[in-house]
Amino acid sequence: MELLLFTVVFVLLLPSAYGYGTGGPAGVCHDPYPHHHGHPRSLEASPFAMSLDKTQYNPGDTVKVTISSSGSSELFRGLQVGAHAVDGIWETLYGEFTKVPAGVQGFKYFSDVENCVTHNKNFSKTGKVELEWKAPNVSVGNIMFSATVLKDYETYWVNLTGDLTAALPLVASAVDPPISVGSGGFDKDLDIAECGKTSGCITYPKDCTAATCDFAVSYKTVTDGIRFRLTNKRAIATASYSALGISTDQFMPKDETITCMDIGGSLDLAHGYNPGMYNTKIKSRNQISDILIQSVDGTLSCEFIRKLKVTVETMGYKGVETLEFDYTKGVDNPEYFLYLSFGDPYPGAKESVEKHHELPIVSQSKVAFGKMERTHFYTLHDSVKVHVMFMVVSWFGAAAVAAIVSRYYKDGFLNSTDMSCGVKPWFQVHRSLAFITTILSVVAFIIIFVRYDGWTDSQSLHAGFGIAVMVLTILQVIAGMLRPGPDDVKKRALFNWIHRVSGVLTYILAAATMFIGTRIPYMTERMKTTGTGLLAGLVVVQIVTAVILEIFSASTGKASHDDTNGNAGDSTMKIEDTKKQPSTARHTRSMALFVFYVCTLVSLLICFLALLWID
């Protein structure tokens, strides 16, 4: 059984060091960060540099762009390069890469020409890459080339730049201008008194006041649009973002997002779309207006008007995709959930933000944008809470008590002279609790599997441990059904040892899985701290109770098990016959301790569940 456990865990926990071995997809050409499971950029001086063979360009000129090791023998295994107009919006790339070496591929990023390059699967480690870039046919003003260079999966540098000055004046019509963002000037606290009167509001925590709300979103319809206001009071000055998502089903995929950012004191807004559990840019002009953003004293506030019906473009794996978002039905009818995520931007990025620290908070119910109502956000989805509740109750409750009963309370548990359904009471209790553990675990597993539509790469450690627990649980049940009869002494003895050891290992693995779960990066801070402490308390209670009972058993000279005839045995492992008449030996275990143990477990479980369900 130990070998099986090792094999299962080993297979499930094989390193998930994958990324885009074929280069980043076209949809992230504007983004210098590779998003390799949250690995930050290297802060050491880059051993690589960019150089241009010209400092000035005329329309149609060809410029040689070189990425190379700067006075070192370092090699790189990946890159991404694009050219941006200094006076334009960052997400737009200009010019065309006309010549690339083997192992490098070009993408048409919202363009008819290849204006972005990255490595592909044939790229070999090298210390130098030379590219040829052709300038646009009209002047787009000064150009800044920007490159990301990867030494390996975890080590990379962003914003390796090269500047190119325009020889001719900028042709304004050839450049997409930056989004116009006002500096705010409104009260950082949402006027809660007006919620439900002049606007609809969603707040967090529930029933908070203007002073105590950490997050708030207000909305009201205006001519041909919806005016939103986001408030994030957990912001960090010059390094925060708040993102609003609009969803029909509380899941991120296929949803529109609008992100307000404070990056190094630069206030900006990004229009995005979630094709799956990730975000890409939307290319939209004049779909969002009247933008006001301010970042004051740890509060990031953002206000904007979003048109009711828009047609936009996003870059998918197969090229440009056209999307339509029509919220007209949501004016009078509750059609959409709103969710809010928050976190930090990547240092030195223009519009790149890290994955949210905690799970996005989601409106309690669907909202109608034209109705003046107040509701609240919640953190964990109800299905996730049920998953957590069932797993904690099954393993720290039912399984824990089942283990104590079978190990220490066989002799005289309940009324040992009575038989229940042909077996001793302790075995009936143990079997029932084991059944409850299995049923709750299976239901919890199915719930979370359906919720996240299968395997979740971002939390492979927790998911891997969870699957290992389920495999071992099912094997325990099957083994229990196939256990040898009481007359087969040797096989029964072997079974008892294997069943006991695998049960303990499964409990340990289940406990580890839950501790990993509470430490998932975007879990709520309350669960990371208090929740972890309560789980630790449950484990400590289990260990202390077992130690006390072991000492108590040893001090009374009684063994933990009866022999095959139900009589007290020696200190060696004996077989407990659950169907023969029970022993009349004096019960040496403390029933008072058992009652105290169960009451303590129940109390800690109640505290944990209250923490889980309080929003």
Domains delineated in the chain: 20-174 (2.60.40.4060), 192-378 (2.60.40.1210), 382-613 (1.20.120)
Query: 421 or 540, which is more confident?
Result: 540
Q: Judge contact between 329 and 318, C-beta under 8 A.
A: no
The predicted model gives 493-501 an average pLDDT of: 83
Find where tokens 């509001």 sit. 201
pLDDT category at 557 given cuts 50, 70, 90 is low
pLDDT score, position 565: 33
Residue type, 141: G
> What does DSSP say about strands 309-316 and 299-307: parallel, antiparallel, or unpaired?
unpaired
- Whether the CB-CB separation of 229 and 242 falls below 8 Å is answered with no
Whole-model pTM: value is 0.69
Average pLDDT, the chain: 82
What digits encode the pLDDT tens for the residues 563-585?
333 333 333 333 344 444 444 33
Average of per-residue pLDDT across 171-196: 81
**Lowest-confidence range among 72-76, 101-105, 379-383, 403-407?**
379-383
* Token output for 551: 């000492």
Q: What is the pLDDT of residues 188-228, one digit of tens each?
A: 777 788 888 899 999 998 888 888 899 999 999 999 899 99
Using CA atoms, how far apart are residues 408 and 560, in angstroms rounded to an integer?
6
Q: How confident is the model at residue 13 (pLDDT cuts 50, 70, 90)?
A: very low
Spatial separation of the C-alpha atoms in residues 95 and 136, rounded to whole Å: 5
**Per-residue pLDDT reduced to its tens digit, 31-70:** 777 766 667 777 788 999 999 999 999 999 999 999 999 8
Question: Residue 244's beta-bridge partner residues?
Answer: 258, 340
Residue 420 has a pLDDT of 56
State the alpha helices, DSSP H only, in 193-324. Answer: none
Beta strand 156-166 with 56-57 is parallel
Helix (H, G, I), strand (E, B) or coil at 532: helix
